[in-house]
Amino acid sequence: MKTIQLNNGIKMPQLGYGVFQIDDPAQCEQSVLDALQTGYRLIDTAACYGNEAAVGKAIAKSGIPRTEIFISSKVWIQVSGYKQTMASFQKTLANLQTDYLDLYLIHMPYGDYYGSWRAMQELYRAGKIRAIGVCNFLPDRLVDLIASFDIVPAVNQIELHPFSQRRALRALMAKYRITPMAWAPFAEGQHQLFTNPTLTTIGAHYGKTAAQVTLRWLKQSGVVAIPKSVHLARIRQNFTIDDFALNANDMGKIDQLDTGQPLILDVASCREAYRLHHITYVQ
């Protein structure tokens, strides 16, 4: 499993398994177990997904040493702030049946995320978290957080796929060595990603699917990806991306698919709505 080194020196698997929208506990537990048995060693969950306990059960059942599994979770909007984040973190540890996290993220840049970051810095320094980071932070909020605290986020988990490549944001992140982590790497199937002519034509040359080409493009771009599937065949297929490499021409063709806009979550618009109406938005 190829790893990527974060800005604090720890190594993180570059391909992981995400569990967003796997709501059935039994299905989530089995899917995570399938992913671990396939070879995945990064599992990404979140408090608001409601499936941390199922993830914890699968990890325990797998028999794989805890030190070999990289677990990422997130603190949600309603529990932002120092005290609530501390309490939420303890609940996350209990759900996941572990005494530390490899990566803990602020889920959205709303609410008292300053308080959350203070708590996360404290937990990090106490050795309870190996790396801390954020999700869905645009340049203004990211730079402000960096300027206001001692610890630079190690990761920014963002919508990132061939149709929304976030070049300006990634350039800023590169300046601070913040690793991009792609949620919805398949764009939730939008723009017919799985049958896109550019991706399928490239894939045909290597005997690969559009999904595998997408994951390989992300990997060669220095991005961590966390694809989700509850189907064992797809879980295995998504993992099989190290037996081919895209050439510069392939990479250039995929780069041209960028629309320059998010397709799934417009963080700036949601942030304004949250400010005005205190509406909760779920990733």
Residues 106-157 have pLDDT tens digits of 999 999 999 999 999 999 999 999 999 999 999 999 999 999 999 999 999 9
- Give the pLDDT confidence score for residue 270 in this predicted structure: 63
| CA–CA separation, 232 and 234 (whole Å) | 5
Q: What is the CATH number of the domain that holds 64?
A: 3.20.20.100
194 occurs within a structural domain: yes
105 occurs within a structural domain: yes
Structural domain including 95 reads 3-277
195 occurs within a structural domain: yes
Nearest Cα neighbor of 166 from 280, 241, 247, 267 is 267
Q: Flag whether the pTM goes above 0.75.
A: yes
182 occurs within a structural domain: yes
Whether the CB-CB separation of 133 and 109 falls below 8 Å is answered with no
Whether the CB-CB separation of 264 and 184 falls below 8 Å is answered with yes
34 occurs within a structural domain: yes
16 occurs within a structural domain: yes
For 133, the 3-state DSSP assignment is strand
Helix, strand, coil percent content, the chain, rounded in steps of 5: 50, 15, 35
- Give the pLDDT confidence score for residue 1 in this predicted structure: 76
Nearest Cα neighbor of 156 from 175, 172, 140, 133 is 133
What's the total number of domains in the chain?
1
In Å, how far are 21, 77, 104, 280 from 111, measured between CA atoms? 23, 6, 17, 10
199 occurs within a structural domain: yes
In the residue annotation, 49 being an active-site residue is answered as yes
- Catalytic member of 49, 104, 113, 124: 49
282 occurs within a structural domain: no
- Give the pLDDT confidence score for residue 267 in this predicted structure: 78
Ranges of residues in the chain whose predicted pLDDT is under 70: 268-283
Strand partners, 161: 164
For 108, the 3-state DSSP assignment is coil
